[in-house]
Structure 1
Amino acid sequence: MAIAGIDRGSHVLVFPYPAQGHMLSLLDLTHQLAVRGVFITILVTPNNLPALSSLLSAHPTTIATLVLPLPPHPSIPPGIENTKDLPASGFKSLMVALGDLHNPLLDWFRNHPTPPVAIVSDMFLGWTHHLACQLGIPRYTFSPSGALALSVILSLWRYPPKRADPRNENEMIRFPKVPNSPEYPWWQLSPVYRSYVEGDPTSEFIKDGLLANFASWGIVINSFTELERVYIDYLKEELGHDRVFAVGPLLPPANKTIERGGPSSKSILSWLDTCEAQSVVYVCFGTQAVLTNNQMAVVAMGLEKSLVKFVWSVKEPTVGHVAGEYGKIPAGFEDRVAGRGVVVTGWAPQVAILSHDAVGAFLTHCGWNSIMEAVAAEVLMLTWPMSADQFSNATLLHELKMGIKASEGPQTVPDSGQLSELFSKSVSDKTRGESERAKEFGWAAKEAISENGSSWKEFDRLVVNFSH
């Protein structure tokens, strides 16, 4: 691919945060940079190296690795290097542990014959801004969240809200500076922000890193202008420069050179081939959220009563989930829906499922990767945000009228009758308006990443920035 006016061959360090939702999109970004002739070194810890195998085989001459051991931390058991193996409380500990790579990384830079001219690192690695300043090179924050969610995060840390009653978890917090003035009850705000304790070393380290993101040279967002223009413009105005690059949706290559998450399951896709167009509801809550048994029972009952065809990806409980209280498929459910629904335990080929013509609606936890994949696939979303940026993401879908609220919150148990009605409605003419909006934004997404589309041009602008 020849790109006019670009000094090919810049060397850039890419540093992902080791959580699947963060790594996947940054590795897709890395692929796109390599396609554009950028030389890349990816920094990972030893246990996360296998996640790069397909990317490295696709770009053997342009992508190298820097493998550094994860520094020890009292809250992280030896051998654990990824958030999927940690309880929720370990999330922040991992951020702090990775911060101790500052000096080893500084040494590597200073001893490298042709060191990188820029750093692209995850928003949970804000300390790399200070490293870049020491080295005299630009650091670009990579946001795995969209521009609205990032605007809310920026506002939280820059303009901390004053609470009338610190005991009231339902107190509404307003964001008047952010376009459309979103508001959320306290419990829906970023758990990292809510758990901040002034003077606590871990809290102060994380606060400093998040504020450093907005002081960095630029911000790269997995979104596209046509979807979030008003929020992208707000970020540029708030930051005082135009180095906000909306390069999404970041997706695996169409030729599947790079598989996302694991091998595709041909049996699910073969079953979808037997279904009518837009007749299937896909249910998935991402890589982190696991439903309680009560929530599992309600979703199962809703699917059963609705009589719709469905694919349900069920995540099994992990560290931090009380054994026996999460992720249990109700007894006899699969037998009762045999032929009409498929239950997948473990990993499901989400991109392939969403892209299939048979899928008409998606019950989602509103993780940003899932939203980007569904937007690109032109699929209507039924929203059930659980935590973190997911409430902001749901706000965006409702604003754009391509999402319908199903529920919200990790403990909420919706009414099975209402859920059943929503499932039926979502694959019928009753949601034609929302489905049409989903199609329009899907077309806009494809246009954005095609040659000379908005995201294509943003990628070019980003690569030009590396070499100046």
Structure 2
Amino acid sequence: MAPAFGDKSSGAAVGGDGVHVMVIPYPARGHNVASIQLSRELVRHGARVTLVNIFDNISPDRLLVCRRESIAVVDVGVCPDAPGPGNLPYLREVESVQGETEQVVAEIGLPAVTCIVSDVFLGWTQSVADKFAIPRFVLCASPARILASLLYMPTLAAQGVVPVQSGEVSELVHIPGLPPTRRGDLSPAVQASSIFCQHFYAQYLHRCCQPALEAAGWFINSFEELEPSCIDALRSFPYERVNSKKPSPIPKFFPVGPLVDDAYLQLLNSESVQGSSFVEPEAPYLRWLNKQPTDSVLYVNFGSVVSLSIRQIHELAFGLEASKQRFLLVARISTVEDTHEDHPVLPEDFVARTQETGFVQFKWVNQLDVLSHPAVGGFLTHCGWNSTLESICRGVPLLAWPFQADQMLNCRFLVDEAKTAVEVRKGANGFVSSEEVARAVRQLMAEPEGEDAKENVRKLRDKVKAAVSDDGSVQRSIKTFLAELKTRVRASN
């Protein structure tokens, strides 16, 4: 029987060898997706999993998935009325649930919690693990290069490299596992000019990055074949624990991505025709896509967090129009910074002028349906890692326009290393002109660079298929992790 939700005494079926993993996501959509997908994998391999739902942030549909797959869920904390600024709005507030989390660990039934797997931005969970003498494993919902930068951040702070001053953004920094990197491409949390840094720099460094170095191991939302050199560097670099007397352990890194919705992975092995609808076949945007030639449409969607000014949205619209390429534009009012009834989201008559080549959707779309449609030949994205992995799984090349968080480093990887993307070049103050939008769109959709990106991303899709197969690298990572936990359980009995 599936567990009841919100009941701290409820639990899932007991896993093999007494392995009981407590998974604690950071309360944000992308982080929830990664944590739940990892939890599902652990359950499938016989572990018992309890998922901690901070601020009741996990959506009802994902809670239903947990119930269906016997993942116990416990709720902790009350969501604050006014979350802090930045792309991690609850960074300070989440520490308020530490006491409740400790109580859950203490009161949970047998088998007792074997280990904690928590998001990299929940550094306080290391103290919870230490209190109960159980290991903590960090989950990074981003690629290996982001974890590499997080683990190296205390060293950069000791060297005086961060926080990055405005005159230093073009200078290069050397992080193990990464090519020479512009300091300005590091997280906004270490950019002195950003509001996020001004509020949370010390919190980010000492309550997130530093505790990550104390962990017994690290899960990465990537796979061996995607970032081999970076993952090798992670495993070999002697990270130092600055404030701990614990001996440095042998690094244990478990690449277990892509941690995306199961439907994307199931389609890798499906014989169904690309483009068949999986959710809402009669949606107007899908009916429009059905009338477009193969690989002809650019899908434009900046996700649920990024917001653009009216001026920037208008430049984007003018650029799409000038490119003469087909497009599906998602323009939801909730992602507009300065919306006002006197300032329409899109330029006047834009929809009417572009009705032969474009479709504007003012509500959510089902991204699986769109990326799976044969008419879609490119994806203009903010380079969020979830969207990036979903696009790779469907073999769709990217037009990279990053804004915040890990997106700049993701962009550099996609453009410079994986070569699955064309970059949208920003001008002064990060603004992108309509001329640049048109240039980048044409380059991806109608020029040789776009053909190269398409070929490379489809090669990566084949690598994903191999990695998640029964004998692939992802399954080996999960099995290795659980084998080590079982050994620990047996040794403690």
- Same fold per TM (> 0.5)? yes
Q: Are residues 291 and 411 of structure 1, via their aligned partners in 2, closer, same or farther at CA, if it must alter by over 3 Å? A: farther
CA positional deviation for 1:466: 3.1
- In 2, Cα distance between equivalents of 1:138 and 1:441: 34
Q: What is the letter of the counterpart of residue 304 of structure 1?
A: E
CA contact (8 A) 2:140 2:219 kept: yes
CA positional deviation for 1:164: 11
Q: What is the letter of the counterpart of residue 55 of structure 1?
A: V
- In 2, Cα distance between equivalents of 1:100 and 1:132: 16
Structure 2-normalised TM-score?
Answer: 0.81
Aligned residue in 2 for 1:233: 232
Give 1:124's match in structure 2, choosing from 121, 124, 130: 121
Q: Are residues 445 and 408 of structure 1, via their aligned partners in 2, closer, same or farther at CA, if it must alter by over 3 Å? A: farther
Aligned residue in 2 for 1:67: 75
CA contact (8 A) 1:275 1:358 kept: yes
1:289 and 2:298 are equivalent in the alignment: no
Give 2:101's match in structure 1, choosing from 99, 105, 123: 105
CA contact (8 A) 1:385 1:408 kept: no
- Give 1:140-151 correspondences, 5 Å limit: 140-151=137-148
- Give 1:368-383 correspondences, 5 Å limit: 368-383=385-400
- Identity percentage over the alignment? 26
- In 2, Cα distance between equivalents of 1:335 and 1:404: 29
- Give 1:170-189 correspondences, 5 Å limit: 170-186=168-184, 188-189=185-186
Q: Deviations over 1:49-80 (max 9, x none)?
A: 54433313421xx2111112238xxxx42xx6
- In 2, Cα distance between equivalents of 1:106 and 1:376: 38
Q: Are residues 38 and 269 of structure 1, via their aligned partners in 2, closer, same or farther at CA, if it must alter by over 3 Å? A: farther
CA positional deviation for 1:205: 4.2
- In 2, Cα distance between equivalents of 1:50 and 1:347: 16
Aligned residue in 1 for 2:374: 357
CA positional deviation for 1:423: 1.7
CA positional deviation for 1:125: 0.4
What RMSD over aligned residues (CA atoms) do the two structures have, in Å? Answer: 3.1
Which structure has more RCO (C-alpha within 8 Å, separation ≥ 6)?
1
The unaligned stretches of length 5 or more in structure 2 are 1-14, 240-248, 267-277, 488-493
CA positional deviation for 1:327: 8.6
The secondary structure found in structure 1 opposite 2:347 is coil
Q: Are residues 389 and 165 of structure 1, via their aligned partners in 2, closer, same or farther at CA, if it must alter by over 3 Å? A: closer
- In 2, Cα distance between equivalents of 1:284 and 1:184: 26
- In 2, Cα distance between equivalents of 1:310 and 1:228: 31
Q: What is the letter of the counterpart of residue 19 of structure 1?
A: A
CA positional deviation for 1:402: 1.3
- In 1, Cα distance between equivalents of 2:281 and 2:26: 27
CA contact (8 A) 1:127 1:208 kept: no
Q: Deviations over 1:256-314 (max 9, x none)?
A: 99xxxx96574233332332221111111122111211221121112112222211122
CA positional deviation for 1:157: 2.4
Q: Deviations over 1:211-263 (max 9, x none)?
A: 11122011111111111111111111224634111111122123999xxxx96
1:432 and 2:430 are equivalent in the alignment: no
Q: What is the letter of the counterpart of residue 35 of structure 1?
A: R
1:314 and 2:331 are equivalent in the alignment: yes
The unaligned stretches of length 5 or more in structure 1 are 1-5, 81-85
How many residue pairs get aligned? The number is 441
- In 2, Cα distance between equivalents of 1:326 and 1:409: 24
- Give 1:27-66 correspondences, 5 Å limit: 27-45=36-54, 47-51=56-60, 52-59=62-69, 62-66=70-74
Structure 1-normalised TM-score?
Answer: 0.85
Q: Are residues 229 and 167 of structure 1, via their aligned partners in 2, closer, same or farther at CA, if it must alter by over 3 Å? A: closer
The secondary structure found in structure 2 opposite 1:224 is coil
- The answer to which of 227-236 and 264-273 deviates more is 264-273
Q: Are residues 181 and 252 of structure 1, via their aligned partners in 2, closer, same or farther at CA, if it must alter by over 3 Å? A: closer
Q: Deviations over 1:9-56 (max 9, x none)?
A: 622111111111211222222222222222211111453254433313
- Give 1:138-287 correspondences, 5 Å limit: 138-160=135-157, 161-162=159-160, 168-186=166-184, 188-194=185-191, 203-209=201-207, 210-238=209-237, 239=239, 241-254=250-263, 264=280, 266-267=282-283, 268-287=285-304
